[in-house]
Amino acid sequence: MIPLKNGSRSDLGIGGGTGARGTRRRRRRWAVAGAVTALAGVLTACGGGGSSALPTPGGKSGAGKPSAYTQAQVVAAAPVAPASAITAGSWMDKVRKRGTLLVGGTDSSAMFSQRNPVSGQLEGFDAGLEQMLAKYVIGKPSTKLSLVTVDTRETMIQNGTVDAVFATYTITPQRAQKVAFAGPYYESGDAILVKASTKDITEPADLDGRTVATEGNSTAALDLKKFAPKAKTLLFQEDGECVAAVKQGRADAYVLDQGILLGDVVSDPQLKVVGQPFTQEPYGIGLPKNDPAAKVFVDAWLKTIFADGEWAKLWKATIGTKVAGAPPAPPTIGSADGS
């Protein structure tokens, strides 16, 4: 459809593509070669985990390795809450009685929550977490996904359509007035991508007066305004378009989540990511505000899986297949303004 560098995604019909306008995800979209990721997911799943013969996603050594665990294995090994933790009439009691966790999320966010076109399973860090939470409450990873958009997330929590939202959902004080946030369970931040030949852009201040591309439905655009107010912002729909804009000279730089940018660089030696992330994006789990026990319960569960290493295993099985290095340390529960 579109001759983008990462066009393989469109070929498989997954990823944002033109449909992204309908289900705009404000947050990071791990759009890098989503098809490759999905394929890797399938292979890992089929291979029973840990086969050293699997191809390296991203095509370069050191760019993330096949995980020793699959998402399914991580979920299978996840803990179940003691019966005493589930007080009668509470949010978790309702979920357990229903036997299914109603989740608000997306099915097209690579590395976080994307439906595998072959198996039909949701794959990614958010998907794994919601399955683990369902298992923790109910005893089995039974979830039902409702698609949410940036515009509907708060409403669907408030009116009880969903029990919880897992959608690369950044915790902000404004949103915290409408919903409760458990977490943060993941922290991310914006970085800068430039052509490998660019020498004079190393930090956000260098972007002032430059033309900078970013995704129109990401908060990176806002961060950019804060850190480089005189930058001229070009908003595009997708990662691939932003990358093309930099390569074709329409933009001097591309600002987005560092993880995504690292993925872009891995597949293209003409590009580089400069400096360290200059923002912090704490992702939280959206919960109803009317039952404070829910937030307490989910926070406690997060602490459990942070402590027993399940969280790190899930990171390895999902984001770790695309981003290099060891799992980061989990964030501190309650550290974000609004959590």
Interaction pattern, residues 242-261, with other proteins; x per rule: CB under 8 A? --xx--xxx-----------
Q: Does 21 participate in binding other proteins (rule CB under 8 A)?
A: yes
Q: Which is nearer to other proteins, 181 or 311 (CB)?
A: 181
Which sign does the torsion angle of CA 244, 249, 255, 258 carry?
A: positive
Packing angle of the helix pair 292-307, 310-317 (nearest 10 deg):
80
Binding to other proteins, residues 126-165 (CB under 8 A): 150-151
Binding to other proteins, residues 70-109 (CB under 8 A): none
Q: Does 1 participate in binding other proteins (rule CB under 8 A)?
A: yes
Reduced to 3 states (helix: H, G, I; strand: E, B; else coil), residue 75 is helix
Q: Could you give phi then psi for residue 260, rounded to 5 degrees?
A: -65, -45
Of the candidates 294, 262, 265, 286, the one whose C-alpha atom is nearest the C-alpha of residue 276 is 262
Q: Which is nearer to other proteins, 252 or 310 (CB)?
A: 252
Q: Which is nearer to other proteins, 241 or 299 (CB)?
A: 241
**Window of 56-64, 70-78, 197-205, 211-219 that interacts with other proteins by CB under 8 A:** 211-219
**Window of 45-53, 135-143, 241-249, 291-299 that interacts with other proteins by CB under 8 A:** 241-249
**What's 174-224 look like in SS3?**
HHHCCCEEEEEEEEECEEEEEECCCCCCCCHHHHCCCEEEEECCCCHHHHH
Q: Which is nearer to other proteins, 125 or 254 (CB)?
A: 254
Q: Binding residues for other proteins, per CB under 8 A?
A: 1-4, 18, 21, 26, 150-151, 174-175, 213, 216-217, 219, 221-222, 234-237, 241, 244-245, 248-250
